[in-house]
Structure 1
């Protein structure tokens, strides 16, 4: 398959799945079974296109995340408080990822684990949506540091491929009393330092020097991932203002069953 076509496909997959509770890593592992990148280049490429998705969060929520100058001290204080809670929430993932990241990558990055994690995560999403919602936390600003850190610990489950970082944080936030919108927003914000740290570590560890062709392939995936992720974020925020996460739960279960059946039958 043409490298640029592969980059386009993977960029679209990453952009669609990164912030939906359906596991971008799981989808990329599955799609990489059919896309012809070498293993080392594929790992590096997947990391870089995740950075494109991160940038889309910063751009979409720029008014919530970027201080606007000295003329709005109260607004800037809210932004700094949000960043401090976000950093607090990412500490568990940094610590556990540093200790167990390589072990998890060696032992669990396979289609069987992805499929099982998709199914289990889907069942949990359906359970969350079928119970009476708590909705005690109606704004991200009302999250306490304790709640942010607890969500961060739950996020660590996403180190199991197929679980979905987005699903783990959304489920964790809703279990702790957050509304759907707050859970989704904090999941977006928590993605920025979490994915930036994981991506930076992977890139440093890979130590790859890119040829001009490889750089252009990576750039293509990055741009596509950014554009698609921005559209998905906008669509998801509109969707959850009116509907629940049940369709994502059903999708995970069906996809997990299909993946198990396919890879056990071939």
Structure 2
């Protein structure tokens, strides 16, 4: 397979899975291995194309981000609360990411870990979907800066940030951990999903910047071109997926994604000869 085709495929996989509770990193590792390439050699690429998916959320929710940005200059309570909640949830990932960087990098090369994490995460989603019983979405005025995310408490945001750290294990899913963690704490489905989308912006930006800095001496101009192409593809696909995701979750919940995880994880274990 040519490098061009592999880049397109990985860009599609990133865009499809980044905001779904199925683990984009896990899928990228499995896809790389399945196509006959070494996951270790493509680990940086798989992280570096994330800005495409980040941009999709920024554009889709530009009114929210713009309202928060202008609200900060006006010292709006909603804008301050929204920013506080995101930074609070982001902080644990920063601390653990810097402290456990080498251990995390090693896990990014292990497809068996991904497969088991997919299965265990799928079971966890089914359990939380059955027992969490999240409330209805709160009645928030349309002009509320920061929306429902701004109404969340500091403590709840911190707890969600701690749960997000589970996603440092490839296959767990950052979006899955944050959404299910929020629902388990009494946050409604839509607000939990939106909080996960917004939290992705600082989290993925920070992870990409850190990995690019660490590998700065290894990156070539050709490598940057491939990264740019992969990011573009992931942007287009993520833009479509995020728009459809809310409609699917509202109607069917998260159970379909849980069963998908279990099936893919099981198939991966068989393919890898791990069972």
TM-score, length-scaled by structure 2: 0.89
Alpha-carbon separation, structure 2, partners of 1:22 and 1:5 = 23
Alpha-carbon separation, structure 1, partners of 2:204 and 2:70 = 30
Please list every run of 5 or more consecutive structure 2 residues that lacks an aligned counterpart in the other structure.
139-147
In the alignment, which residue of structure 1 is the partner of 2:120?
120
TM-score, length-scaled by structure 1: 0.91
Partners of 1:20 and 1:167 within 8 A in 2: yes
Partners of 2:69 and 2:79 within 8 A in 1: no
Partners of 2:107 and 2:169 within 8 A in 1: no
Shift in Å, 1:208: 4.0
In the alignment, which residue of structure 1 is the partner of 2:66?
66
In the alignment, which residue of structure 2 is the partner of 1:163?
172
- Give runs of aligned pairs for residues 187-266 of structure 1, distance below 5 A: 187-208=196-217, 210-264=219-273
Partners of 1:137 and 1:177 within 8 A in 2: no
Worse overlay, 202-211 or 19-28: 202-211
Q: Which of 176, 182, 186 is the matching residue for 1:177?
A: 186
Alpha-carbon separation, structure 1, partners of 2:117 and 2:72 = 45
- Give runs of aligned pairs for residues 39-188 of structure 1, distance below 5 A: 42-67=42-67, 77-107=77-107, 109-131=109-131, 133-135=133-135, 138=138, 139-188=148-197
Partners of 1:65 and 1:79 within 8 A in 2: no
Aligned length: 266
Shift in Å, 1:43: 2.0
Alpha-carbon separation, structure 2, partners of 1:207 and 1:28 = 22
- Residues 68, 84 of structure 1: alpha-carbon distance in 2 compared, 3 angstrom cutoff: closer
Partners of 1:137 and 1:143 within 8 A in 2: no
Worse overlay, 68-77 or 148-157: 68-77
Shift in Å, 1:54: 1.0
In the alignment, which residue of structure 2 is the partner of 1:33?
33
Shift in Å, 1:69: 7.9
Shift in Å, 1:215: 2.8
- Give runs of aligned pairs for residues 14-25 of structure 1, distance below 5 A: 14-25=14-25
- The alignment's C-alpha RMSD in Å is 2.4
Partners of 1:47 and 1:199 within 8 A in 2: yes
In the alignment, which residue of structure 1 is the partner of 2:2?
2
Shift in Å, 1:213: 3.4
